[in-house]
Amino acid sequence: MFKKRPGRLIPFIVIVIIYAGFGFWVYSNYITSQISSEAGAILLKWGSRGSEVREVQTRLKNWGFYKGTVDGIYGWRTANAVKAFQKKHGLKADGIVGNATAKALGIRTGTASARGGTSRDNEAYTLAQCVHGEARGEPYIGQVAVAAVILNRVDDPRFPKTIAGVIYQPGAFTAVTDGQMFQPPGSSALKAAKDALNGWDPSGGALYYYNPAKTTNKWIWSRPIIKVIGKHYFCK
């Protein structure tokens, strides 16, 4: 039968290929979602800004890969430097700082610092996770301020009385509701959480914050604004 009319099998094969293609599409979607959430700890690419970019630039500059200024902005110079670095270290030269590249650069990924043991360390870690989910990409001070808002809530009678209570209050933080929080925090979020726990409060005692470009909640707009840091408005 195969020898006689091989052409007859073609529609059948086509259908199998279509199914296989569909299956592969679903699978690859799943894989990429896995990868991006894994790499969520540090994923810097063209257009990223902030202290983590600065860290990458400083290191690349020290090793002679990067010639530009350390400005915390991931532009083409940074991308090229990252590519050069990746080539030299046998990594995929895509110009994106994911987990593997970050490790090669010697930048601490969040998971490494989850150790410790005292409850204060664990508190700092949870706080950092929330900060990372809510404010990665914001300037460092903005990250400290977000952590400070959480701590200000703990001290306010209108909110739950523990850090975990405030963070997990239903609907309180978008990053908690949509699960973005459950990633290892970056080093800058961890540092910010510790600074806030040590008492620094750049928010000026704020209890709420919002990104005016993303919020349609009328109630929050009516709150008196205390401070503007990065993209966030902090208010009472």
Contact status: 2 vs other proteins (CB under 8 A):
no
Task: Give the CA dihedral 129, 198, 146, 42, nearest 10 degrees.
Answer: -40
Around 183, how many Cα atoms within 13 Å sit in the side-chain half-sphere? 27
Using the contact rule CB under 8 A, the part of the chain among 31-39, 75-83, 97-105, 223-231 near other proteins is: 223-231
Q: CB–CB of 63/30 below 8 Å?
A: no
Burial of 236 from C-beta contacts in 10 A (0-12 / 13-18 / 19+): middle
Of the candidates 27, 196, 16, 173, the residue with the CA atom closest to the CA atom of residue 165: 173
Q: Which of 3, 6, 90, 171 binds other proteins (CB under 8 A)?
A: 171
Q: Which of residues 134-163 bind other proteins (CB under 8 A)?
A: 140-141, 144, 155-161
Q: Which of 78, 86, 180, 203 binds other proteins (CB under 8 A)?
A: 203
Q: Which of 77, 83, 227, 231 binds other proteins (CB under 8 A)?
A: 227
Report how far residue 100's alpha carbon sits from residue 48's, in angstroms, rounded to the nearest whole number: 18
Q: Which of 87, 169, 179, 212 binds other proteins (CB under 8 A)?
A: 169
Report how far residue 212's alpha carbon sits from residue 201's, in angstroms, rounded to the nearest whole number: 21
Q: Which of residues 76-135 bind other proteins (CB under 8 A)?
A: 118, 120
Contact status: 16 vs other proteins (CB under 8 A):
yes
Using the contact rule CB under 8 A, the part of the chain among 30-38, 73-81, 82-90, 195-203 near other proteins is: 195-203
Q: CB–CB of 116/136 below 8 Å?
A: no
Of the candidates 106, 187, 196, 103, the residue with the CA atom closest to the CA atom of residue 145: 196
Contact status: 31 vs other proteins (CB under 8 A):
no
- Catalog residues that contact other proteins under the rule CB under 8 A: 7-12, 14-16, 19, 51, 54-55, 58, 69-70, 118, 120, 140-141, 144, 155-161, 165, 169-172, 174, 177-178, 188, 191, 194-195, 198-206, 215-217, 219, 224-229, 236
